Amino acid sequence: MQGTTQTPPQPDAYTPTDRTVPTRAAHKASYDRDLVHSILDEAYVCHLGFVRDGAPVVLPTLYARVGERLYVHGSTGSRPLREAGQADPGLPVCLTVTHVDGLVLARSAFHHSINYRSVVVHGVARDVTDPEEKRQALDALVDHVVPGRSSDSRPANRKELAATAVIRLDLDEVSAKVRTGGANDEPEDLTLPHWAGVVPLHKGYDTPVANHDLTPGIELPGYLTAR
């Protein structure tokens, strides 16, 4: 759309770096932007790693993607968010998202595996100080959990905004890793009398449970019944 482009055109793939090229099973690695986005957008929780007193810390946390930026939020009192705000230029982090899609049963114990899709993001998380960006990030965090929900809830007020820290991690040094398909046994094991194949896993939603104090007459919104 000539003349209306607001962001520079994105190449289709992230550029591999020393940290994003695996030492093994490199054929499972991908730098495809759409694949990375789809894996990130499907999960609810990421695992955020950072270093404290020289030792690693890994915490599960909500996140949201806005274009090529990831946002994580939390209390201004939480340690990683406080440290991201204080450190210059920010807090080195590794943010990882994983889906387990199936159990792979091989004839040999050695070739048992898991079908999965994962994304690993390396980078420096920075405190979001711009009020408009912070507001957009908080909306994205709510909409990441339930699309459309941010416009059907009370927005954060001044006190809540002040109590909430948001950090940003740019999608720059990123890789995906995917395993699909059946068991890969050694040729000499194929006739062993053990079953081999995949047990697919699935995730789903159960019927929503209304809060005990829900005002009578408030119906389940359409964005929930659609699931």
Candidates 37, 47, 65, 69; binder of a second copy (CB under 8 A) is 47
If binding is defined by CB under 8 A, does position 126 make contact with a second copy?
no
Which of 67, 20, 19 minimizes the C-alpha distance to 169?
67
Number of CB atoms found within 10 A of residue 127's CB: 19
Number of residues that bind a second copy (CB under 8 A): 93
Cα angle 68, 72, 73 (rounded to 5 degrees) comes to 145
Decide if 128 contacts 140 (C-beta within 8 A).
no
Q: CA dihedral defined by 59, 91, 75, 145, rounded to 10 degrees? A: -60
If binding is defined by CB under 8 A, does position 182 make contact with a second copy?
yes
In this chain, which stretch among 3-11, 30-38, 64-72, 149-157 interacts with a second copy, using CB under 8 A?
Answer: 149-157
Candidates 13, 37, 108, 172; binder of a second copy (CB under 8 A) is 108
Site for a second copy in 65-84 (CB under 8 A): 75, 77-79
In this chain, which stretch among 5-13, 26-34, 126-134, 148-156 interacts with a second copy, using CB under 8 A?
Answer: 148-156
> In angstroms, what is the minimal distance from the CB of 34 to a second copy?
21
Tokens of 124: 């420096």
Candidates 16, 156, 170, 178; binder of a second copy (CB under 8 A) is 156
Candidates 31, 50, 63, 71; binder of a second copy (CB under 8 A) is 50
If binding is defined by CB under 8 A, does position 195 make contact with a second copy?
yes
Cα angle 56, 114, 12 (rounded to 5 degrees) comes to 75
Decide if 227 contacts 158 (C-beta within 8 A).
no
